[in-house]
Chains A and B, each alone.
Chain A
Amino acid sequence: MILNTDSMKPIYVQIAEWLEGEILSETIKEEERIYSQYQLAEMFTINPATAAKGLNILADEGIVYKKRGLGMFVSPNAKQSILTKRRSQVLGQMIKELVMEAKRLDVGESELNRMIQQVRKENEEEQL
């Protein structure tokens, strides 16, 4: 992954999200050890304090937990809680913005629904 330094998202949030992606794709499985702050610092050429802050976000949300003297491990229900969180936060925010933009462009409810259905259909056709 390449960090986007111009993004509105701080680097440590990008680190946390990247780790979540690794857990979702099961590159790192539940109950397995996750990268240490020093490994992350080396991987992304960032200060270890930045990497630690990324890990702490996940620890605060219970996605990883600390085993004394052994490092950070992925929690048993990590995958599910990431999915739940992303659905409510990320998807929720996207929909909020979608609705706002539609309002600004004077796109009505049925028109918006039709556009969503259209994209869905295109995606399904691509997969066939």
Chain B
Amino acid sequence: MIHGEIWTAKELWVLPNEYIIWAIQIVMYPFMTGLVAGSFVLSSLYHVFGIKRLEGIARFALVFSFALLPAALIPLLLHLQHPERGINVMMTPHFTSAIAAFGIVFSFYFAIVACEIWFLYRRHFIEHSRYLKELGRHKPVRFKILQFVHTVLTLGSFDTSEEAAQKDHKAIKFLASLGIPVALFLHGYAGFIFGSVKANALWLTPLMPVIFIVSAVVSGIALCLLSYIVVTEVRKWRSRRAQTRAVRATGPAGMTAVNLERYSAQSGEIQSVEISVVKMTSRFLLIFLVTAVSLELLDLVFRGYTAVNSWNILKDALYVRDYRNIFVFQYGLGAFVPLVLLLIPRLTLRRTVVATILVLFGVLMMRYNVVIGGQSFSETFAGYMHYKLPVIPYDLERLREGLVGALIVFIFPFILFYIYSKIFPVFLRESHGRE
């Protein structure tokens, strides 16, 4: 079978060799890199521009970005017909190709994020490794492993002086500033990969990298916000559970006033921090969302107005065949509804959760409509191709480039984030860390 034949159905005049060869994994690839870039930008808003109210989410977003990074590689490897040769991109990069620099940009960005995280957590590693060492030799294996990991992560630097902290701070600011253009480049360039294909009437537009960057920031902020709310709610719930357990264990009479106050203060503090962070972050989400939609609509209007050769088939593909995916899912549910939800005064957590989920869905649909939509009409401008997502993975091809493969790619960063958060505590506040 020809690659792409499994999920492509042809209608009317389509060239014999034409298939949808960039399938769901190539939808996931810009979606995941978008999340990486977006969450990094969010963390940099605090580290570089000093937007204090984002302090609570800055570390969270940075570690999330680090967890999302490997997930941007997986869809590419799953998509390649020869994944074992993927390294060739680094060995013989052919620089006239937009994909050639991927390895270099990706590694560079990875290094920046890794360094920034190291500087951010250096003091934490040292303190933790010292603390675990002080526990003596007879401690659980888990602690021994943690001590080893933390000691290795200090990279032999044990200076916790105020001077060193100042230097760390400087390095973080520098790396965060350097990271912004690189993160935007990493993603804008994913847009360039599509925007520069002159053979594809839908992709070919210089606006593509810009649209990709802005929607990347939108999706990154939305995901960080959503995860932040979920994780904070879990913390609140845990704190309440600890309180009730303490009450149950000692009885209400045994519970000292101090203890009660501590628990409720902890829970209350989380609550107040959370809503303030959420409100501020959703402001930024709104700004980027409006920009993204404006750019996309500008592109659409421009195509309709200039109405070049390809417009006839594009018009049909956009307004008739993909109407539901584009106007109902992407613009309606994915942009308009969350816009209204976020704009209504007195923002609540529940409303934010719904809005962020819808925004993420909208951005995913945008990637889908670009990647699959761009391949849904023939280069003859006289035929269509329909994409059927393989759901049941009864062979390797359907597993790699089907629903299951896409879900693996989506879930992977969350698992990685959970593991990372054991080493890099995401709710450590800078002011606390300096004490």
Question: Do A and B assemble together?
Answer: no
Measured CB to CB, the residues of B under 8 A from A are none
Measured CB to CB, the residues of A under 8 A from B are none
